[in-house]
Amino acid sequence: MTGIMHHTLYDGRRVAFRFTDGAGPCLVFLPGYMSDMSGSKATALFDEAVAQGRACLLLDYSGCGLSDGDFADGMLSKWRDEVLALVASYVSGPVLLVGSSMGGWLMLLVAEHLRHRLAGLVGIASAPDFTRWGYSEEQRRALAAGETVLEPNPYGPEPTPTHPGFFADAECHLRLDSMIDIACPVRLLHGKADADVPWEISLRLKAALRSGDVQVTLVEDGDHRLSRESDIALLKALVAEFYG
């Protein structure tokens, strides 16, 4: 992958990112849990932005991909602040946030700080509050007691860890049980065959948002990744609505 840059934050953290300047709102892609900017959806949207002359920003959260840090130290608050620092430093004008899975949760936290600049939100299998509905009570007790929880990883050989620091921070950012004060247009894409994030979560998110312009698109045979050619074409079409 070419065009990798690094931004140094106030505490010395170096966050890897890619940026292309251009017209329209800047698309800012927020990857999922343990994911990075090299994924197929992020890459497809960046390439589309370059081809269309649109602005686009990709990043790796600290502890992920090409960024500095240890994943065990990662948390929503820290990653939110990294996104906001990059937007403040490199993006002028409106912002279109696109969040995948956990990135769909982080998208809400970033949006709350960018209200006056939001062109819209696009969620892909959005997973807000997954520390509440995605774990058993036994797992939640273990995390609250300071233990790391390991789960089978369907996408790789190593188990997926959830660290107690991430869990404790996430408990401060639950959003689905109260009104989410975001009023911009929102498009939510979710596969009905998603084995990781129930598609009903996108319906709960729609109900919680204050915005009067929220549309949910369900892909009957779509899985969690929504990375097939047809899925990515649908995602591009949803994004294109904000550049009409």
Number of structural domains found in the chain: 1
Domain that holds residue 191: 5-243
Q: Pick the catalytic residue from 62, 101, 126, 202.
A: 101
CB 182, CB 211: distance < 8 Å = yes
Is 224 an annotated catalytic residue? yes
- How far, in Å, CA of 159 to CA of 164, rounded? 16
Selecting among 60, 194, 202, 231, the annotated active-site residue is 194
Position 53 scores a pLDDT of 97
Query: What pLDDT does 154 receive?
Result: 83
pLDDT tens by residue, 50-95: 999 999 999 999 999 999 999 999 999 999 999 999 999 999 999 9
pTM of the model: 0.97
Q: What is the DSSP letter of 21?
A: -
pLDDT digits (tens, 9 = 90+) for 137-187: 999 999 999 999 999 988 888 899 999 999 999 999 999 999 999 999 999
Give the three-state DSSP class for 102.
helix
Set 81, 163, 224, 231: catalytic member: 224
CATH code: domain of residue 73: 3.40.50.1820
Cα separation, 40 vs 228, in Å, equals: 9
